[in-house]
Amino acid sequence: MLPSRVSEPPTRSAHEIDGKRVSLLKSLKILDWLQCALGAAFQNLELRQGGDVNTFLQGLRDANLTSLADVLSQHSAVTDRILADSTPKLFLAPDNEAISNLPSFVTNDSARLEATLLQHVLRGSFDTNSLNTYPLHTIGHSYMNESAFVNLPGGAGQAVALAQSGDRRFVAEAVNNGTYTLSGNQTKLDTVTVQPINHAITIPGSVTDTLKYLRYNGTDTLLQQVQGGALAKTIDSMAGITLFVPSNAAIQKYVATNPSPNDIPTVLGQHIVASRVLYSPLLIDQGSMISSSGQDIVFDNKAGTVKVGNFTAKILQTDIIAQQGVIHEIDNVLASTALDTGRAAQAQKSAMESINAASASVLSGPVTGKNSITTQGNDVPAAQQGSGANNRSANQNGDSAGTGQTETAIGNGNTGSNGGASQANSTGSNSGSNGSNGSNGSNGNNGGNGSNIDHRNQNGALSSSTASSFVATIVVASSILALAF
């Protein structure tokens, strides 16, 4: 049987063929247009990004910040962070001399150098002509939030303290004597306000490094001996802490009363607020502080004091920045032996529940009671009868103290400085003096960040042990140990 004839394909009309050709040509033209459009878009994006960086670096050079521009040109990770979005920023830009004076332990460590540079970039807008008057500070959070160098609640960037005294404006580090001044004219580079400064900011050290630098001598030895060094690790791993640290003179006075060893952990706990970072504007705007011993801490801005029970201390210096929080120096031991662990636990829980990592990590502009990485929360214990406290909840916090504050009595106690006076005439920190002598520790005016080992000498703050500082360390150590375990 012969195979059946294979059917021929149907013929198409000339009209159908022409239509297909037109459709194909249209498709090819569309693809060609898309290719050109996408290519141009990517090219423009590439040019825009490269242009932004180049324009930014050229702007720094035009502002005579050549050394800074040269360093940034070699660290694109920093410029990528700065130019990643169009939000306003304040760049505290180290001048040429400041860059040349960066110590080798910074310049030889790429990660530390990049973190140092990012700490100079503050999120948000700041009016540097209306800063808080020293010893209050205007606080801003930087882009430096690398976990190797900072451990604040919610992954927030490390804080930087700014202040003014008379016609002087400066970055306030613990013992810099106001010499890290905002110098030169500002330059606006797109959304980045560039403010030259004459000294680079030091990355703050841990709480234990801070206490060393402030010459609470014997700290390292003590902490390494307690529970095989576990206490030191606990202190330096806490995210969010406020310490009111008595001066050496205050500790000597307290020791002379022969306190019971059993009372020392409770007394020391009065100096700690757990899971909160209460920078000086927040002492005014938030308040509602409860110590780790469960007692109300009452701040009085008109008197410049904190009070627990019947014990009052003048605040000598505010906003000593540490890796995990902040330290304020006071001139007296808050020697109350009252203890309420239930109130302490409730206050800490309320504070921890208030932390919002999404907002903390991008907090912008001056820190205020309504613009902060930590608050007292809305489950804060009611004020103790007779304490004088007003333990309002977080939704009642103010927002007036972030910038432009000129009135405070902080720092004008018997061993302190005159509130608002030039920082160069202030006591500085607890660095080897009892206030009125005005010593700035082992490195004097050459000291770097009081929250770290010296900016130019990593071992510059170490010295021999003394009985007074030994007890001071026990105060801090015992209190934090009680919180942690």
Same domain flag for 61 and 141: yes
Whether 45 is covered by a domain: the verdict is no
The pLDDT confidence band at residue 175, using thresholds 50, 70 and 90, is low
Determine the residue type at 362. V
Positive or negative, the Cα torsion across 417, 334, 272, 432? positive
Same domain flag for 189 and 244: no
pLDDT at 12 over 70: no
The highest-confidence range among 17-21, 268-272, 394-398, 425-429, by mean pLDDT, is 394-398
CA distance 106 to 127: 30
Structure confidence at residue 178 (pLDDT): 65
The terminus-to-terminus CA distance of the chain in angstroms comes to 98
Q: Looking at the DSSP assignment, which residues form a beta bridge with residue 242?
A: 273, 326
Whether 2 is covered by a domain: the verdict is no
Same domain flag for 107 and 212: no
Q: Is the entire prediction scored with pTM above 0.85?
A: no
CA distance 244 to 160: 19
> Average pLDDT of 190-205?
94
Same domain flag for 313 and 349: yes
pLDDT at 334 over 90: yes
Residue at which a domain ends, from 197, 229, 263: 197
Average pLDDT, the chain: 78
Whether 13 is covered by a domain: the verdict is no
Same domain flag for 238 and 160: no
Whether 44 is covered by a domain: the verdict is no
Same domain flag for 267 and 348: yes
Whether 273 is covered by a domain: the verdict is yes
Residue at which a domain ends, from 197, 230, 262: 197
Same domain flag for 245 and 384: yes
Residue at which a domain ends, from 163, 197, 231: 197
Domain that residue 116 falls in:
50-197
Structure confidence at residue 33 (pLDDT): 61
145-163 pLDDT per residue, tens:
999 999 999 999 999 999 9
CA distance 395 to 271: 25
pLDDT at 306 over 60: yes
Let me know if 156 is exposed, middle or buried by CB neighbors in 10 A (0-12, 13-18, 19+): buried
CB 172 within 8 A of CB 197: no
Whether 34 is covered by a domain: the verdict is no
Supply the CATH number for residue 220's domain: 2.30.180.10
CA distance 273 to 244: 9
Determine the residue type at 150. V
Same domain flag for 150 and 220: no
Same domain flag for 187 and 111: yes
Whether 437 is covered by a domain: the verdict is yes
Structure confidence at residue 180 (pLDDT): 76
Same domain flag for 167 and 284: no
Same domain flag for 137 and 266: no
Number of domains in the chain: 2
Q: Of 217 and 70, which is predicted with more confidence?
A: 70
Same domain flag for 218 and 153: no
